[in-house]
Structure 1
Amino acid sequence: MSDKNPLSQLPDRLQSVAEKPWSQLESHPSLQGQSGAQLSQELCRVLAISDFVADQLTRRPEWLESLVDEGDITTSYPPGRYAEKLVARLTEVDDEALMHQQLRRFRNYEMVRLIWRDLTRRADMRETTRDLSHLADACIDETLTWLYQRATKRWGMPLSGSDAQPQQLVVLGMGKLGANELNLSSDIDLMFCFPANGETDHPTQSLENQDFFIRLGQKLIQALDNQNAEGFVFRVDMRLRPFGTAGPLAVSFTAMEHYYQDQGRDWERYAMIKARPVAGDIAAGEQLMQQLRPFVYRKYIDFSAFESLRDMKLMINREVRRKGLEQNVKLGSGGIREVEFIAQAFQLIRGGRDLALQQRELLNILPLLPEHVGMPESAVQELVAAYVFLRNTEHAIQSIADKQTQELPDDPQGQARIALAMGFADWDSFQQQLAQHRRAVSQHFADVIAPAEAEGEQNEAADESEWKALINDEMDQDQVLSFLSRKGFADADSALKQLQSLRQSRAMQMLQQVAKTRLLHIMPALLETVGQCRNAEVTLERVLLLIQAVLRRSAYLVLLAENPGAMQQLVRLCSSSAWFAAQLSKQPVLLDELIDPRTLFTPPDKARLQAELSQQLLRVPEDDMEQLMETLRYFHHAHVLRVAASDITEALPLMKVSDYLTWLAETLLEAVLQSAWRMLTEKHGVPMREPGEPCDPDFVVVGYGKMGGIELSYGSDLDLVFIHDADPDLNTNGDKSVPNPVFFNRLGQKMIHFLNTFTPSGQLYDIDMRLRPSGNSGLLVSGLKAFKQYQQKEAWTWEHQALVRARVVAGSPALAKRFEQVRSELLSQPRDRAVLLEQVCSMREKMREHLGSRTTDASGSFDLKQDRGGIVDIEFMVQFMVLNHANKYPDLLTYTDNIRILDGIEANGLMTAEQAGLLRDAYRVLRSVGHRQALQEQSSSVVADEELSQYRQQVARIWDEVMC
C-alpha cells in the first residue's frame, strides 16, 4: 500500500476496516487538492474507528461535501444553530411519518459531524458533550412544537382552570442531558409536566389537560425513540418521573411539588441536581425548578447524602458483579459514576447554604471543591484529568457503532480502535493510563464516600452491644448502673436519669424509624467518649441538650457518624463550656464547623475575614434580603464558634480572643453598611456632601465601650454612634430624592434592622445607641458638626469619658480622619483637675450604689465590674488620666483600649511602673474571669467575696493613690 495513501498510516488491523468506505469516498471532490489532504487523513482515522460514520457516508456520500463546504467539520456551532437547521427541515413537513424521517436524517448527519470532530479532537470533550446536549434540546423542542400545533387543532388548546391561560408542556431534561453533558450514544432521561389542571377549549372533543399532555408526550416519545429504517433520534427514558413507571406520563406542577414534598426519596434529590427545562414552556419550567429547589438543597448541612450515595454505589457494585461489568468505564470501580458521586455528594451536603455549588455541570463543580469544601487541589486536578479521560474513552467506545455502551472491547480490532481514538500507540499503553486514572478515582471516592476508618476503630473500643441494650431499655437497673460506673460516670444515677429522660421525651416518642436508626448508630460511640470526660455527668447533660435539638433533623446525627473527629471535638468543647453546648443546640448547623480542626482552631485575621465574607456575599442575590441576613448570621455564628473553640482549648489568650471578636464585628458592620447604602442609593440616589459633590459615603459608624476598646466578649452588645458629614440642606440626586438628613436617618435604621432583627438564625448583635448626642431623645444619625457642638456645649463629663474609648469601626476613611480630629480636640481641652476629679468620682459612686453587689441579694460576693476594686474602677482611672492630661500628652489619644492607654500613662510618668503594671494585670485577670463565666453560661458578673481579693485590694489602693 502506498505511503501516500492515508490508510497506510493506520494500524495494520484497522486498514482493512477503513478500506471499503475509503475506496468509495477517496475520489470525492471535497478531498481533492492540497486543502483536502488534512481532511483525507482525518476521514481515514474516523472511518477506521467508527462503523456508524462509515455506514452513513457510504449511504449518503453527498453529506461529505456538505460537511466540508458548509464548514460544519472545521467550525464550532454557535448557540441556536441546531434549532435553525431543524426548523428549516420541518417547516414544509406536514406528515408525521415524513417528520420522523427528516428528524432521523438530521440527527444522523449531525452525529457524523460530532463524531468526526470528537475523534480528530477538533472539539474537546466539553464541546462535544455540550453540542450533543444542544442537539437533543433542539430535537425535543422543535418536535414538541410541531406536535403541539397539530394536537391543539385536534383536541383544542389546553387552558388553566383558574384564569383560562393557555398551557404548554414542560419537558425537564434529567441526568447528563440536564447538565449539558450528553455522550455520543446516550439515552435521554425526561419528565413531562404542565403548569395547571384544566381542560382544552375544543367544542366537541375537549380533554382534561393531563390527558392532553399525556397524549402529546406519547407522540413526542414515538417521534424521538421509535426505530425505523433511518434509525432513531434519541432513546427516551421516562423512569425518573414521580412514581416511576407506575405514575402518569405527565403531571401538574402542584402534583410535582406534593410528590417531592411528601414522598421524594434521597436518590431523587440526587437526580434533580441536574434537572433542567429543555423544551416547551422554559420560563414556567424554571419557576418549577425554583419551587423544587428546597427539596434538592437542604438549608442545613446534610451528611445523610453520604448514606444515600453509599447505598446507591453498593447497588451499582452488586449489578456490576452480577453482570460482569468490571470493564465498564462508567459503572466499574474508578469509573465516571464515582467522580459524579464525589461532586454531587458535596452538592447535596452543602448546596443549600453555598449557592456556588448549585450548578449542574460536573466540571464546573469540581474546581470549586478546594475553596468550598476543603478538598486538596491535587485531588481535584486528578479527578478532572480522570473524568476527561474517562469521558473521552466513553465517546470512543460509543462512536464505533452508535450503541449505548461503556464496556471496553475485548477483541483486538475493537481495542485497536480505542487506542487510536485515544491517541495511544497500542492497547497496553492505553490500559496503563486508564488504570492509573481509575486507581486515583477509586482512592478519592473512598476518601469521600466510604465510611470513616476511625468510626470502626472507635466502635471497637466501645462495648457497643451493651450501650445499645442500655439505650433500648433492655438491661435491668443494677446492670445499667454498674455499666455506667465502669464507663466513667461517677454519678451513674444522674446519668441514667438523663438517658431515661431522653428516651421518654415526646420528641423521641414521635421519632421516625430512620432517625431512630441513626441515633442508635451514633449513641454508643458518643456515650463512650462522654464517659472519658472528667465531668462526665455535666458533659452528658450538655451533649443530650444538643441531641434533643437535632432529633427531628437527624442528618446532623449522620454528620457526627461520618466525622468521628467532629464528634470528639463536640464532646471535648461541651465538656469545657456550657456556652458552647448552648450555642450548638440553638444553631445545630454550626456542627459543620467542627469537622476541620485546621479552621476550627485557627480563626482568621481581619483581612481574611473580610475576604471570606465578600466571597460568601457574592453568592447572594442582591435583592434577596432574607438570604443576605441569614448569610451574615451564619458567618457571625460560625466565626464566634471558632474563636470560642480556640479560647476554650487555650489556643488563644484573652486579648487575642477579644481582637478576633472585634474584627468580626467590624467586618460585619462594614458589610451591613455597604448593603444598606446600596439599597438606599438605588432608591433615592446618593446624598450630596456639597453642591455637585456626592458623598463617598461620608458616613461612619463609631464604636464605644467594649467595641471601641477592642474588648468584645461572647454576647456583647455593640455601643454605636452614627455620624455623617453631608450638607443638611441638600438632597440626594435620585428620582425619588430625599433630604440628606432623611437619607442618613433611614440608612441608620436599615443598619439597625440588619443587625438586631431576629431571624430563624437569631440576630447579629444587640445594638445600643444611647451614647449618641442627647441619648434616646436625640437624632439617630448626627452630622459631624452637630456632634462636635454637642460635645463642646452640652455633653456631660461621663460622655467625654466614653469618648476616650470611641473609634471609627466602619465607613468612610476620609470622614474617619475628620472624626478623629474632632475627638482629639474634644479630649485635649484643658480641664480643671479638681472639678474633673469630683465629677468622675461622683459618677463612680452613683454607679456603685445602683449597680454594685450591695444592690442585689448577693451578700458576701464581689461584682467583677461594679464593686470597689473592679473593672470599672480601672476604666475610670484611665479615663480620668486621659481627660486630665491629654492636652499635654496627646499620645494618650492614640489608642482606645485600656491596656495600651495604661502603657502611655506609664511612659509619660503619670503613674509609676508598679501602679500601671498592677492595673494591667488586674484588668486582664478580672476580664478573664468574666470571660470564663460567659463560657459557662453564667450571665452575672458576681463571684464569691473571697475570690480575687489580692487584685481587688491592689486596684482599690491605687484608686486611693491616684483619685485624690
Structure 2
Amino acid sequence: MQSLPVPLQEEARWRWQAVGEAFAQAGLQLPDPGTQRDALAAGLALSDFAQQQAVRWPGRLADLLERGDLFAACGPDGFEQRLARLWEARFDRPVPVWADDSAASVPKDGLMEVLRAFRQREMVRIALRDLCGWADLEETLTDLSSLADVTIATALAVLYRQQAALWGVPLDRHGDAQQMVVIGLGKLGAGELNFSSDVDLLFAYARDGRTAGGDKGAIDNEAFFTRVCRDLIQVIGKPTADGFVFRVDVRLRPYGDAGPLVMSFDRMEDYYQEQGREWERYALIKARVVAGSQTDGKQLLARLRPFIFRRYLDFGAFDSLRDMKTRIAGEVRRKGLAAHVKLGPGGIREIEFFGQMFQLIRGGVDADLQVRPIRQVLSVLVRKNYIPALVGSVMDQAYVFLRRAENRLQAWADQQTHSLPREPMARLRLAAAMGFGDWESFAAQLEIHRRQVHSHFNELLASDKDQQVAGDPEKETLKQLEEIWHGAGATERARRLLSDLGYQSPSAVMHQIAGLKEDRALLTLNRTGRERLNRLLPMVLQAVGGARQPDLVLGRVFDLIRGIQRRSSYFALLLENPATLTHLVQLVGASPWIAKFLSGHPVLLDELLDPRNLYRPPLRHEMETELAQRLAAVAPEDLEYQMEVLRVFKQVNVLRVAASDITHVLPLMKVSDHLSDIAEVVIEAVVDLCFQQLAAKYGRPACSLAGGKCERGFAVIAYGKLGGLELGYQSDLDLVFLHAAEQGSTAGGTRSLDNAQFFARLGQRVLHMLTTPTGAGVLYDADMRLRPSGASGMLVSHVDGFGDYQRGDAWTWEHQALIRARAISGDPALQERFHAIRHEILTRRRDPQRLRQEVADMRRRLRQEHARRSPSRFDLKQGAGGIVDIEFIVQYLVLKHAHRYPQIVRWTDKVRLLQALSEAGVLHPETAFGLRRAYLIYRAMVHRFNLGRQPAEVDDDRFPQTRRFVGALWQRLFKQDPH
C-alpha cells in the first residue's frame, strides 16, 4: 500500500478485503500475486469499476490471475483466443466466421450475454494493467481498440448468418456473395480507443443486388444489410443488466442521422465526391476496416482517398478547421468545460486538430501523412520539418499525459467522462493514478502541458487579418462593400458602387443595410457570429446585385439572415460555399415564400449545396426508400427523433419541388403530384410507425370485412386538395380514418385493448405525429371535420358505420366532398371497401331539383362567408366565375349523372373529372375544354400568388371572358345569377 497516498491506503485495504470475501463466498481461493500484491490492491482502490466487477464475478479475476493474463501483454491473437474459450464454454461450438451457417442458431440474447461477459473481463484486465503500471499507453489504447474489433466482428458474423437464414445470402448481379464492411472512425479507426469511448462506425457493402431467398423470401441487399446494422447496433450498444459492449455512434455517416444506415460503395463514393463537407474529410482521416471483408473494405477506402486527401495543397481547409475550433471554444465557454481534458483549452482535441490540419492540407501531396494515430502524425511532421522537433516533442508528451489522465478518469467508474473531479478524494485518486502524491503536483503538471498545447495551437490557427486584396477587382469590390457595411464608405462613392452592381435605388439599399446593421437580434450575435456576418454581407451585396430585382431580393435575403441568425453556423456554410449563395439568391429572388420557408427551416440550406438534387425532385419510390432508410436508423421507441426525421424529410423534398417549380423544371400539375406524393409517403410512414408502436404494446387487433380477414384494418382517406391531387405548399390535409375491427380485444401484446379502442388510439397517435410542433416545425396541419358527424363524431369510424352514415345521414355537401376523396394509406382490402362505398354513394339516383337547390344553397353560404374585400378586386377562388364555382359545377354534374355514367366517378381531380364528363356526353367537349382551361389558368395564378405570399386576387377587369363563360354555365345549370 506504500505506493498510495496515506488517505487512500485504508480504502485500498477494505477493497482488497471485500474481494477476498467474495472469493471465499464463491468457494475460490484468492491467489497471492506475490510481489505484485500491493500494486494490484492499489489498482483496485483506483478503479471502483474493477473492484466491483471482482466482487460480483470473482471467478473472472481468479481466471485472470491463474492464467497469468493480468501480468502479460495480450499478443496478436490474444483476444480471439480468449473469446473462443468463453464462446465454447457457453455454446459448445467454435466462434463463427461470416460464412458459418451454425451462427444462425446462436440466440441474440446469448450473443449479447457472452460479449458483455467477455468485455467486462477484458476491461478489468486492461484497467488494472494500466493503473498498476504494467502496460504503457500504446498497449492500453491498442488493447481497447482490439477488444472493440473482435466483439464487433464476432457479432457481425452471427447477425449476418441470422439474416441470411431469413432472407438468403445477399448477391450482386453476377451472383457473387456480398459481405458487409464496418469502418471504424475516430479513435477506434486510429487504434486509440479510450477506456469508455463510443465506437464511431460507418457501414457499407460493395454492390447492390438481392438476396438468394430464405425462410421469409428475398429482399434488396440494402434492406438486408440495414437489418444487420440495426441488430449490430443493438447487440453491441444496448444497455442490459450486464451493461453494454461499446456505445455505438453512427452519426458520422453520409447525411448524418437522416441518412441510410448502410450504403453501397458506389453510392457512398458519389456522396463524398459530390456532397462531402470539410468536416467529413476530417472524420474519415482515421478510417479503418474493423470488421467484415477486409478486402472489400480496403477497396472502399482506396476509392474514398481522393476525397479525404486532395491532390493539392489544400489551404482552404484552414477556415473550416478554424470554425470547428471556434465552435468547440464556444461550447467550452457555454458549458463550462475549462476542466475538460478532451475539449478544454490545450486538451486532447487541440492536439488532434494540430496534426490533422497538416494531414488535410498536405496529405494529398505527401503520402507519409496518410497515417492514423496522432503520435505517428506528429513524428512525420517533425521528420519532414513541417514543425520544429521541440514542438513535436511538447505535443507528444502532452498527448501521452492527457490520454493517461482521460483513461484513469474513466476507469474509476467505467463512465464516459472527461472532466476533472472537484471532490477532494476523487482528486487525490486521480493524482495517485497518475503517479503524483497530491492533487496540486498533478494539477501543476497538467497546466504546463495544456498551456503549451494551447499556445502552439493558437499560433497555427492565427488568421491573416492583413490579407492583400489590391490588384484583384473582385476582392477590391468586396473590400469596398465591406466598408459600406461598416458605414465607412463615402456616401457618393457607395451609391455609385451599388448602382454599378445593378441596384436600382442605392439610397434605399443603404437604408436597408443600416436597418439590418441596427437590428436588435443581430446586435446580440456573439463574436463568432458577428465575424461571420461581417464577412458574409459584402458577398451578399455582390451576389444580389446580379439579380433581376436586386433591391427587392436584398430585402428578402436580409429577412432570411434575420431568421437564421441564431444559428450562425449557417453563415459559415454560405461563406465556405459561394455557389450556395448563388442558388440562394436565385431561389429567394424567384419566391418570397421560399425565403420564408428557408428562414423557418435553415437546415435546408444544406440542400443548396447539391444543385443536381435540388432541382430534381425524387420519384415516389425513391422517397419511400429514402424515408425508410432514415427511419431505420432511429430506435423504434424514439418517437421524438422519428418526428424530427419525418419533418426534415418533408421539408427537404418540398424545397426540391419548390426549386424545380420556380425554375420551371416542373409544370403546375406535376408540382401538385409531387407534393401529394410527399404527403402520402409521409402519412404511410407515420401510420406504420404508430401501428407498430401500439402493436408492440397491446398486440394486434382482429379485423375483417364481410366475413373475410384483413391484415391491419386501418385506412386513411384523403379529401380536399390531397384527395383531388391538388395539394399546395401550405395546404392542410383533410383526412378521415376508418377501421374494420371485429368485436373483442387485441392479442399478442403485454396487455390487451378493445379492438376499436386500439384504432382510436392509433388515430390519436397519427394526428399527434402529424400536428405536434417540434424544433423542426409541424409535419402537416390535419383537418378531421369531414369525418361522419364532423367534430362531434368518432375520430376513427368503422367502415360499416361510415357507409351507413353516407347512405342515411350525410348531407349533399358531404357527398360533394366525397367526390374528391380517395384512400391513400392502410390495409388494401379496407381501401377497396371504402372505394366501393364511395362508388355506391356517388352513383345513387338523386332528385334533380333537390340536388340543384342544395348545391346552389351551399355555394351561396360559402360566398357569404368569403365575401370579397374590395369590389375592385376579383377573388380567384371565391369570386363569381372563379375556382369554387367551377368545382361546384363539376360536383353537381357528377352527382346528377353518375347513376347513368358510373365511370365518371373513377377520378378525384378536376381535370380528369371534366374529361370524364365530356367523354360521357354530360358536357359538350368545348364546354369541358373551356372549364378546364379556366380552372388551370386560375390555379396557376393562385399558385404564383402563394409563392409570392400574396392574396389570390387580381383587378376586377381581369379574365372577363372566362368569368362570363363560367357565369353563363352556372346560370344555365342552376337558373340563377352566380352573384
Normalising by structure 2, what TM-score?
0.58
Distance between the aligned counterparts of 2:143 and 2:79, measured in 1? Answer: 21
> Aligned-pair distance for 1:830?
0.7
Per the alignment, in what secondary structure is the counterpart of residue 580 of structure 2?
helix
> Aligned-pair distance for 1:285?
9.8
> Aligned-pair distance for 1:550?
2.6
Per the alignment, in what secondary structure is the counterpart of residue 904 of structure 2?
helix
Deviations along 1:395-443, whole A, 9 cap, x unmatched?
9xx9xxx999779999xxxxxxxxxxxxxxxxxxxxxxxxxxxxxxxxx
Q: Which residue of structure 2 lines up, in the alignment, with residue 949 of structure 1?
A: 960
- The correspondence of residues 765-776 of structure 1 with structure 2, limited to 5 A, is 765-776=780-791
Q: Does 1:903 align with 2:886?
A: no
> Aligned-pair distance for 1:478?
2.8
Distance between the aligned counterparts of 1:771 and 1:586, measured in 2? Answer: 30
Any conservation in 2 of the 1:462–1:524 contact (CA below 8 Å)?
no
Q: Does 1:595 align with 2:566?
A: no
> Aligned-pair distance for 1:176?
7.2
Change (3 A) 1:457 1:511: farther
Any conservation in 2 of the 1:173–1:191 contact (CA below 8 Å)?
no
Per the alignment, in what secondary structure is the counterpart of residue 670 of structure 2?
helix
Q: Does 1:841 align with 2:856?
A: yes
Residue type of the alignment partner of 1:788: G
| Higher mean C-alpha deviation, range 552-561 or range 899-908 | 552-561
Change (3 A) 1:762 1:290: same
Change (3 A) 1:689 1:407: same
Deviations along 1:459-478, whole A, 9 cap, x unmatched?
83771110111122211333
Distance between the aligned counterparts of 1:178 and 1:956, measured in 2? Answer: 80
- The correspondence of residues 439-838 of structure 1 with structure 2, limited to 5 A, is 460=474, 463-690=477-704, 695-728=710-743, 731=746, 734-838=749-853
Residue type of the alignment partner of 2:759: F
> Aligned-pair distance for 1:909?
1.3
Change (3 A) 1:771 1:820: same
> Aligned-pair distance for 1:567?
1.3
Distance between the aligned counterparts of 1:708 and 1:689, measured in 2? Answer: 25
Distance between the aligned counterparts of 2:848 and 2:872, measured in 1? Answer: 36
Distance between the aligned counterparts of 1:543 and 1:941, measured in 2? Answer: 24
Distance between the aligned counterparts of 1:186 and 1:194, measured in 2? Answer: 12
Per the alignment, in what secondary structure is the counterpart of residue 772 of structure 1?
coil
Q: Which residue of structure 2 lines up, in the alignment, with residue 103 of structure 1?
A: 72
Per the alignment, in what secondary structure is the counterpart of residue 921 of structure 2?
coil
Q: Which residue of structure 1 lines up, in the alignment, with residue 216 of structure 2?
A: none
Per the alignment, in what secondary structure is the counterpart of residue 719 of structure 1?
strand
Change (3 A) 1:825 1:844: same
Residue type of the alignment partner of 2:537: M
> Aligned-pair distance for 1:507?
3.4
Change (3 A) 1:611 1:882: same
Any conservation in 1 of the 2:732–2:780 contact (CA below 8 Å)?
yes
> Aligned-pair distance for 1:554?
2.3
Q: Which residue of structure 1 lines up, in the alignment, with residue 878 of structure 2?
A: 866
> Aligned-pair distance for 1:148?
6.6
Per the alignment, in what secondary structure is the counterpart of residue 493 of structure 1?
helix
Q: Which residue of structure 1 lines up, in the alignment, with residue 972 of structure 2?
A: 961
Change (3 A) 1:884 1:514: same
Per the alignment, in what secondary structure is the counterpart of residue 703 of structure 1?
strand
Residue type of the alignment partner of 1:489: Y
Distance between the aligned counterparts of 2:842 and 2:857, measured in 1? Answer: 20
> Aligned-pair distance for 1:867?
1.6
Distance between the aligned counterparts of 1:566 and 1:578, measured in 2? Answer: 18
> Aligned-pair distance for 1:558?
2.2
> Aligned-pair distance for 1:109?
9.0
Aligned match for 1:894, one of 881, 884, 906: 906
Change (3 A) 1:646 1:334: closer
Any conservation in 1 of the 2:281–2:308 contact (CA below 8 Å)?
no
| Higher mean C-alpha deviation, range 493-502 or range 643-652 | 493-502
Change (3 A) 1:766 1:737: same
Q: Which residue of structure 2 lines up, in the alignment, with residue 338 of structure 1?
A: 309
Distance between the aligned counterparts of 2:874 and 2:472, measured in 1? Answer: 46
Change (3 A) 1:138 1:783: closer
Change (3 A) 1:479 1:304: farther
Q: Which residue of structure 2 lines up, in the alignment, with residue 320 of structure 1?
A: none
| Higher mean C-alpha deviation, range 694-703 or range 661-670 | 694-703
Q: Which residue of structure 2 lines up, in the alignment, with residue 415 of structure 1?
A: none
Any conservation in 2 of the 1:458–1:525 contact (CA below 8 Å)?
no
Distance between the aligned counterparts of 1:467 and 1:508, measured in 2? Answer: 19
Distance between the aligned counterparts of 2:939 and 2:782, measured in 1? Answer: 22
Any conservation in 2 of the 1:732–1:743 contact (CA below 8 Å)?
no
Change (3 A) 1:194 1:514: closer
Change (3 A) 1:793 1:528: same
Distance between the aligned counterparts of 1:147 and 1:307, measured in 2? Answer: 36
Distance between the aligned counterparts of 1:540 and 1:560, measured in 2? Answer: 15
Distance between the aligned counterparts of 1:811 and 1:680, measured in 2? Answer: 15
Any conservation in 1 of the 2:710–2:830 contact (CA below 8 Å)?
no
Change (3 A) 1:922 1:774: same
Per the alignment, in what secondary structure is the counterpart of residue 651 of structure 1?
coil
Deviations along 1:514-558, whole A, 9 cap, x unmatched?
333322333323211101112111111111112223333222122
> Aligned-pair distance for 1:177?
7.1
Per the alignment, in what secondary structure is the counterpart of residue 862 of structure 1?
strand
Residue type of the alignment partner of 2:898: A
Using the aligned pairs only, state the percent identity.
Answer: 35
> Aligned-pair distance for 1:632?
0.4
Change (3 A) 1:618 1:143: closer
Q: Which residue of structure 1 lines up, in the alignment, with residue 65 of structure 2?
A: 91
Distance between the aligned counterparts of 1:313 and 1:884, measured in 2? Answer: 67
Deviations along 1:254-292, whole A, 9 cap, x unmatched?
xxxxxxxxxxxxxxxxxxxxxx99xxx9959967x8899
Per the alignment, in what secondary structure is the counterpart of residue 463 of structure 1?
helix
Any conservation in 1 of the 2:710–2:827 contact (CA below 8 Å)?
no
Distance between the aligned counterparts of 2:119 and 2:786, measured in 1? Answer: 66
> Aligned-pair distance for 1:896?
0.5
Any conservation in 2 of the 1:177–1:189 contact (CA below 8 Å)?
no
Normalising by structure 1, what TM-score?
0.59
Distance between the aligned counterparts of 1:182 and 1:650, measured in 2? Answer: 42
Deviations along 1:869-911, whole A, 9 cap, x unmatched?
0111111111111111111111101110010010011111111
> Aligned-pair distance for 1:644?
0.6
Q: Which residue of structure 2 lines up, in the alignment, with residue 144 of structure 1?
A: 127
Deviations along 1:763-785, whole A, 9 cap, x unmatched?
01111111111111111111111
Distance between the aligned counterparts of 2:757 and 2:966, measured in 1? Answer: 47
> Aligned-pair distance for 1:457?
14
Residue type of the alignment partner of 1:561: L
Change (3 A) 1:140 1:774: closer
Any conservation in 2 of the 1:687–1:694 contact (CA below 8 Å)?
no
Distance between the aligned counterparts of 1:786 and 1:99, measured in 2? Answer: 72
Aligned CA RMSD, in angstroms, stands at 5.2
Distance between the aligned counterparts of 1:721 and 1:182, measured in 2? Answer: 48
Q: Which residue of structure 1 lines up, in the alignment, with residue 943 of structure 2?
A: 931
Any unmatched runs of 5+ in structure 2?
1-57, 82-96, 98-116, 135-139, 150-183, 199-235, 260-270, 286-300, 328-359, 385-468
Any conservation in 2 of the 1:336–1:390 contact (CA below 8 Å)?
no
